[in-house]
Copies of this chain bind each other. A is one copy, B any other.
Amino acid sequence: MKKPGGLFLIILLFICGLQLRAQQSLRPNIIVFLVDDMGWQDCSLPFWTSATPLNKRYHTPNMERLAKEGMKFTNAYAAPVCTPSRSSMLSGMNVAHHGITNWTSPAKDNNTDAKDDQFEAAQWNMNGLSPTAGVEATAYATVFPELLKQSGYFTIHVGKAHWASYGTPGASPYNMGFIVNISGHSAGHPQSYLSEEHYGNMPRKAIIQAVPDLEEYYDSGTFLTEALTLEAEKALEYPIKNHQPFYLNMAHYAVHTPIMGDKRFVQKYLDNGLDSIEARYVSLLEGMDKSLGDIMDFLKAKGVEKNTIIIFMSDNGGLSLAPPRGGAPHTQNLPLKGGKGSVYEGGIREPMIVKWPGIVKPSSVTDQYVIIEDFFPAILEMAGVRNYKTVQRVDGKSFVPVLKNPLYKDTSRLLIWHYPNKWQDQGGPGINYFSAARKGDWKLVYSLRTGKGELYNLKEDIGETNNLAAKYPAKLKELESLLGKKLQTWNAPMPLDKTTRQPAAWPGQTL
């Protein structure tokens, strides 16, 4: 029994080593499967009480499969357009807080707001999100992929990034916590989905939206969605082989414009009598769904299916401008009102599904409302990253408690949308200069142009057709006051009235 200390120490160290190793391998892999511009009903999986006519139009068997293995969120939200959503997801901040309220131009210092008679453009962070301080017109934040990377995750970005303008660090996924980047840059849509057009990279025809990094697929007949899927699988081989937990940001360019047909799927919809634009749109959706299924199959084949979380999400509502969409304008998300760009449900309500084997009950459903900035704390919690430091104050709230308990209910939480910008001359319901708030089933839609609020009860009126402002003035006032205070606290960007030179009134200010 001489010198047992040394021996004990060795054994202790060894056990610690084993534990650390076990801990490492137990950490779940996480995939965010993010679709661009996909509406809440752009799938055969119903997110409402029953299947809508739109649900019946589409065919997305792999979303159905994912929902069977996980939890469906029927009240999940994003911002009305993409960069704000993507920035909220990466920073955990509300849009009104980070101030990237509109989509960023690929080019630096380029305010994308359309011209307006009443307003001058708000001073929003038009260059996007930045992982370093002091970059002009950007929001400085600690992004969650960086925290994942620091904690030992192998982080991969594939597809659309669109977090910041070129000439700033946020333009490169390599500055946003990703170890591997494929095809992510400052552009918000692909110049082309077609390998025959080199995804846009044709000599002297390419613009900034030409998709980089996919030369091996040129002229191979590989649709962009498929190429990105193959690239993601290739990139996943390394961490899987090395038993390193991974985070994959699988951010499809689909189903954003240009609405180009995916020849693998388009014909049957034409045969079914869908107009040619919508047939192409549906083919984009079905190609996206195939990608989801392929990745699920890949995880299974690699033996990591049971330790991999998949979070399905879209970054804003379905596009309802027509053209470029088929049909009459703003009918593409009915019964939801409006579409992309709008603070009505059609612009912000998203199809969200979370599969977490062993934690989430298969085929479960939650009506709890959640919003895109919740991804930040939720993903870090899933990964077991605790006590992390961020330069920003995080607004999002982890939805892990919801995942663990389908009966979880919080009706006191306030969700906020803020769009003090002019997206399109064309406009539409809830599009251009609107804010909104939701608390419980109540929703306020506030026009910055008129200073007037509308009030809806979403449980009874998902289509926001029955304005209850006159009937429930106290509720209206409560929500306006709550929204106004938050916007003021965050010093949210506001458009300037051209005549008075004053910013638009805070909600509640004009009551």
Is A251 in contact with chain B by the CB < 8 A criterion?
no
Is A208 in contact with chain B by the CB < 8 A criterion?
yes
Q: With both chains docked as a complex, state the minimum distance between the C-beta of A13 and any C-beta of chain B, in angstroms.
A: 7
Give bound CA distance, A10 to B206, whole Å. 61
Q: Which chain A residues numbered 1 to 23 have a C-beta less than 8 Å away from chain B?
A: 7, 10-11, 13-14, 17
How many A residues face the partner with a CB closer than 8 A?
45
Q: With both chains docked as a complex, state the minimum distance between the C-beta of A124 and any C-beta of chain B, in angstroms.
A: 21
Q: CB-CB < 8 A to A478: which residues of B? A: none
Give bound CA distance, A219 to B106, whole Å. 13
Q: With both chains docked as a complex, state the minimum distance between the C-beta of A167 and any C-beta of chain B, in angstroms.
A: 5
Judge whether B203 and A208 touch: CB under 8 Å: yes
Over the window 180-222 of chain A, the binary record of Cβ atoms lying under 8 Å from chain B Cβ atoms (1 yes, 0 no) is: 1110011000000000001001011111101011011111100
Is A454 in contact with chain B by the CB < 8 A criterion?
no
In the complex where A149-B238, A204-B207 touch, is A216 in contact with B179 (Cβ < 8 A)? Answer: no
Give bound CA distance, A201 to B167, whole Å. 13
Is A311 in contact with chain B by the CB < 8 A criterion?
no
Q: From the candidates B17, B179, B216, name the one contacting A169 in the complex (CB within 8 A).
A: B216
Is A166 in contact with chain B by the CB < 8 A criterion?
yes
Judge whether B205 and A201 touch: CB under 8 Å: no
In the complex where A206-B201, A231-B174, A235-B174 touch, is A213 in contact with B212 (Cβ < 8 A)? Answer: yes
Q: Which residue of chain B has the shortest Cβ distance to A231 in the bound complex?
A: B174
Judge whether A167 and B206 touch: CB under 8 Å: no
Judge whether A207 and B215 touch: CB under 8 Å: no
Q: CB-CB < 8 A to A216: which residues of B? A: 166-172, 175
Q: CB-CB < 8 A to A13: which residues of B? A: 14
Is A234 in contact with chain B by the CB < 8 A criterion?
yes
Q: Which residue of chain B has the shortest Cβ distance to A17 in the bound complex?
A: B17
Is A439 in contact with chain B by the CB < 8 A criterion?
no
Is A486 in contact with chain B by the CB < 8 A criterion?
no
Q: CB-CB < 8 A to A175: which residues of B? A: 216, 234
Is A290 in contact with chain B by the CB < 8 A criterion?
no
Give bound CA distance, A217 to B174, whole Å. 13
In the complex where A205-B204, A206-B204, A206-B206 touch, is A213 in contact with B172 (Cβ < 8 A)? Answer: yes
Q: Which residue of chain B has the shortest Cβ distance to A205 in the bound complex?
A: B204
Q: From the candidates B10, B171, B234, name the one contacting A215 in the complex (CB within 8 A).
A: B171
In the complex where A10-B11, A210-B206, A220-B167 touch, is A215 in contact with B186 (Cβ < 8 A)? Answer: yes
Judge whether B179 and A180 touch: CB under 8 Å: yes
Is A68 in contact with chain B by the CB < 8 A criterion?
no
Q: With both chains docked as a complex, state the minimum distance between the C-beta of A284 and any C-beta of chain B, in angstroms.
A: 24
Q: CB-CB < 8 A to A172: which residues of B? A: 213, 215-216
Is A108 in contact with chain B by the CB < 8 A criterion?
yes
Over the window 282-313 of chain A, the binary record of Cβ atoms lying under 8 Å from chain B Cβ atoms (1 yes, 0 no) is: 00000000000000000000000000000000
Judge whether B14 and A215 touch: CB under 8 Å: no
Give bound CA distance, A235 to B174, whole Å. 8
Q: Which residue of chain B has the shortest Cβ distance to A206 in the bound complex?
A: B206
Interchain Cβ contacts under 8 Å between A and B, 10 examples: A7-B11, A11-B14, A166-B198, A167-B215, A171-B215, A172-B216, A174-B235, A179-B180, A180-B180, A204-B205
**CB-based closest 3 A-B pairs:** A166-B215, A14-B14, A212-B212
Binding site for B on A (CB under 8 A): 7, 10-11, 13-14, 17, 106, 108, 149, 166-172, 174-175, 179-182, 185-186, 198, 201, 203-208, 210, 212-213, 215-220, 231, 234-235, 238
